[in-house]
Structure 1
Amino acid sequence: MGNPGKSMLAAIAAVAVMFATSAGAQEAKRYRFAYDQPRNTGYSVAGDLFADKLKELSKGTMLIDQYPGAQLGQEPQLLQLIKAGDIDFAIISSANTATISPQAGVMSLHFLFRDENHVIKGLADPKVFEALKTMIDETTQGLHVIATGSQGVRHMYSKKEIRNVGDIKGLKIRVQATATEDLMFPAYGAQTVHMPFGSVYTSLQTGVMDVAENSINVYLVNKHYEVAPVLNLTEHEANNALVFISDKLWQSLSAEQKKWVLAAGDEISQKEPGKAFELERSAATKLKSIGVKIVTDIDKKSFTTIADPYLDKLAKDLGPHAEKIKNLIRAVN
């Protein structure tokens, strides 16, 4: 007779392996990550970076299912779903975040960022991130910021050329629903119209609206060039976004899982903005090739002369968090 101890140990080891594999299989959990833009945008870049990093850090136990293209709702609805804990993660523009935390409007201040490099550095800056996280935690409930993101900078598009501030006088322009937009565009002499992103195409087509504004890639992938064939590179505003986790999920995570989530979030803050600007450049090339008129020689000074005095005033009016965030962004070199 062989050594019973040995065969018994082998049997115990086999059972242990079985338990470990079944436990491993049970431990893999899937989480919903939603956004309102299609794939091949800065938002899907963020989703992919986050999903890959979280899978790697959690050794396959935390898996992300992405819901692009407003499948689960437009941004204002997504904010409510995440606050309620009905979805786990979402990437939302900072402008739409202002619907639940008005001070987030600071990220939409016109000409707050000097250029592309300043956007990339500003969004990756740990002090800026910390101030944004604190602002959300102290001004609203049900969700937390885990990353910053970008879809480049915003430009005005229309059926006509916009070369200086005088060219938008009296025009109806679709803006995001923030106090900053409602103050800035009228200061330029335009009229503001609020509407969900999904209605922009038809409104431009029917003439309900004369102008819309967004980043180049968003303009391309949503085919807005079909109804507004002139893209004017005004660069008036950074197209910032925040990535949220629902508080319901956050509270249920272990300390180790929270670390993984934050590290995967940091992956977005560090890498996504640069990739978003790469998308912007390839989108511009594609638009040119299909005959879209891109106006580059814009008298930006005609806009900044009006906008600059508002920067400090608006940040101050929004509140102490907004003022702090503006100062931190301005200090990034």
Structure 2
Amino acid sequence: MNWISNYVRPTINSLFSRREVPENLWTKCPECGTMLFHRELSDNLNVCTNCDHHMAISPRARFTALFDGGIFSEIAVPAPVEDPLKFRDQKKYPDRMRAAQKETGEKEAMLIAEGEIGRTPIVAACQDFSFMAGSMGMYVGNAIIAAAERAVELNRPLILFSAAGGARMQEGILSLMQMPRTTVAVEMLKEAGLPYIVVLTHPTTGGVTASYAMLGDVHIAEPNALICFAGPRVIEQTIREKLPEGFQRAEYLLDHGMLDRVTARGDLRDELITITRLLMGLPPAVMGDLPAPTKPEPPEVAEPVEPETPSEANPDP
């Protein structure tokens, strides 16, 4: 037995011919630990197929699944002043912004768009938690105002998906000023008689919860989403008591009257279509995006023919 040809050579060949496997092909569910193939996870809208844990999803991926045919148009947002306070902690604020933009591929923490869901025209806004924890800064305030103005201009409802860790500390008092600004934007929709629907996703906390995230006509949450102003750990340290199981989670808030519905991500589109058309006074949407059924016309009935008499059938010669 030649160990060089039978062992060493195949080992060397395998080292040089080994293909590199991308690291992002599999995702581990943080709830149950199941390894999920990236295509399977994407097809299921970033929801674990084993335990139904709802993971984070980007605004573009959410809009692609929400709008008819995945088609939507972005709405321009006025750019705010860059780094108005010249803030610096471990990094400069502009450096943090550039790092977040490179990581997410987005300009800021909120994306707004217009399109149709179930042939119902809407305006939608979605926060991106992966962009500096979805923090509410001047750009987010401008985005919500732009979305509300566009909804009023087109006479469309506004659907907002919230996901934030609170106000953006790098903008100081200017970020807190977005709370009354966005409240005025919501009031514009109410004065125009247009529905404002909020979908609270995990997590929605801080000043976002204290302003536009809790001012909707209808509040829907994704399962097990954390929704609060101050987090449970802060509350426990303050009152020095153990909080109830599931405190500040979507199901707990639904039981205590703070939410209207808790809906899984896969059922959310149909739920929003139904609620939006109901609030806009429109007829129910046709499932499957098919033409509306028409009432069939009754079949034509032929008039009876009288049988011929024998004399008429065989006249005498």
| TM-score after normalising by structure 1 | 0.30
Q: Which has the higher contact order (CA 8 A, sep 6+)?
A: 1
Q: More helix by proportion, 1 or 2?
A: 1
| Structure of higher CA gyration radius | 2
Q: Which has the higher strand share?
A: 1
Give the structure-2-normalised TM-score: 0.31
